[in-house]
């Protein structure tokens, strides 16, 4: 009688994430080609000067993030440690990107034309893929790593990061107070939705995450490697 192999969820999950990461890389490359960097088929409902930023985003997605996903997926398929180290760099960056591109346009402005809504499901696909990769990566790092950080370097790194995260927060807060007091700020009149979206994400997500990861690095370094890598990937990419 033929023996039925028991279902191995770990093998299934790993292979599933490999497929998801490759699919996500394909979506990013497709969106990069269709976007303003190459074909210009995707038109975003925003001011033309914002396109400088969109070109840069497409370039980073196509030439940095997609290759990281592809190499990470292939390494994961080969069951190499490199796979999880590469894939963990991408999820938070991709979630930020996908949400921004799905909702961050001037939908009410009659003077701007756009068709990015036609690509909604591609962005949604990137977001779902990123969430799946994130949950996989959170469980992929051993829970009890024994890190060894030099105290002196840890103190210096923490101090410098605190200063610059605070500077970053003050920079965005200053512009928000400017809008509150005067009704406008740099770039605000041209693309107010993008203005609020970026400040909302950075002040409510990026900067708090930076402080949380720093706290965990001091208090729970053994169990926070996945969070450290998620934050580092997000901040770096």
Which residues of this chain interact with other proteins, rule CB under 8 A?
49, 52-53, 55-57, 59-60, 64, 85, 93, 96, 145, 147-149, 153-154, 157, 160-161, 164, 167-168, 171, 186-187, 190, 206, 217, 221, 225, 228-229, 232, 234-237
Q: Toward other proteins, which CB reaches closer, 120 or 149?
A: 149
Q: How far is the CB of 124 from other proteins (least distance, A)?
A: 20
The answer to whether 157 and 235 have CB atoms below 8 angstroms apart is no
Q: Toward other proteins, which CB reaches closer, 12 or 63?
A: 63
User: Count of CB atoms within 10 A of residue 216's CB?
Assistant: 17
> Residue length, the chain?
237
Distance CA 222, CA 180 (A): 43
Contacts of 34 (CB under 8 A, 6+ apart): 41, 42, 119
Contacts of 14 (CB under 8 A, 6+ apart): 76, 77, 79, 136
The answer to whether 159 and 119 have CB atoms below 8 angstroms apart is no
Q: Toward other proteins, which CB reaches closer, 119 or 195?
A: 195
Q: How far is the CB of 145 from other proteins (least distance, A)?
A: 5
Q: How far is the CB of 48 from other proteins (least distance, A)?
A: 10
Q: How far is the CB of 149 from other proteins (least distance, A)?
A: 4
> What is residue 204's DSSP assignment?
I
Q: How far is the CB of 228 from other proteins (least distance, A)?
A: 5
> What is residue 78's DSSP assignment?
T
Phi, psi of 55 (to 5 degrees): -60, -45
Q: Toward other proteins, which CB reaches closer, 160 or 200?
A: 160
């Amino acid at each position: 009688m033929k023996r039925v192999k028991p279902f191995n969820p770990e093998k299934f999950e790993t292979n599933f994430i490999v497929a998801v990461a490759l699919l996500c890389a394909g979506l990013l490359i497709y969106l990069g080609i269709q976007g303003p960097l190459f074909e210009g088929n995707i038109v975003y409902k925003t001011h033309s000067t914002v396109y400088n930023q969109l070109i840069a985003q497409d370039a980073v997605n196509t030439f940095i993030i997609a290759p990281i996903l592809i190499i990470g997926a292939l390494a994961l398929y080969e069951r190499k440690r490199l796979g999880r180290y590469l894939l963990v760099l991408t999820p938070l960056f991709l979630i930020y990107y996908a949400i921004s591109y799905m909702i961050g346009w001037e939908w009410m402005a009659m003077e701007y034309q756009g068709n990015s809504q036609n690509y909604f499901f591609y962005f949604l696909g990137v977001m779902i893929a990123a969430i799946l990769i994130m949950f996989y990566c959170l469980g992929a790092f051993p829970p009890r790593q024994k890190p060894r950080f030099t105290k002196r370097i840890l103190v210096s790194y923490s101090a410098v990061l605190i200063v610059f995260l605070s500077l970053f927060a003050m920079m965005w807060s200053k512009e928000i107070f400017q809008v509150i007091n005067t009704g406008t700020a740099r770039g605000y009149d041209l693309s107010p939705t993008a203005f609020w979206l970026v400040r909302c994400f950075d002040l409510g997500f990026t900067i708090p995450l930076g402080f949380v990861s720093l706290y965990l690095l001091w208090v729970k370094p053994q169990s926070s490697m996945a969070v450290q890598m998620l934050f580092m990937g997000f901040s770096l990419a």
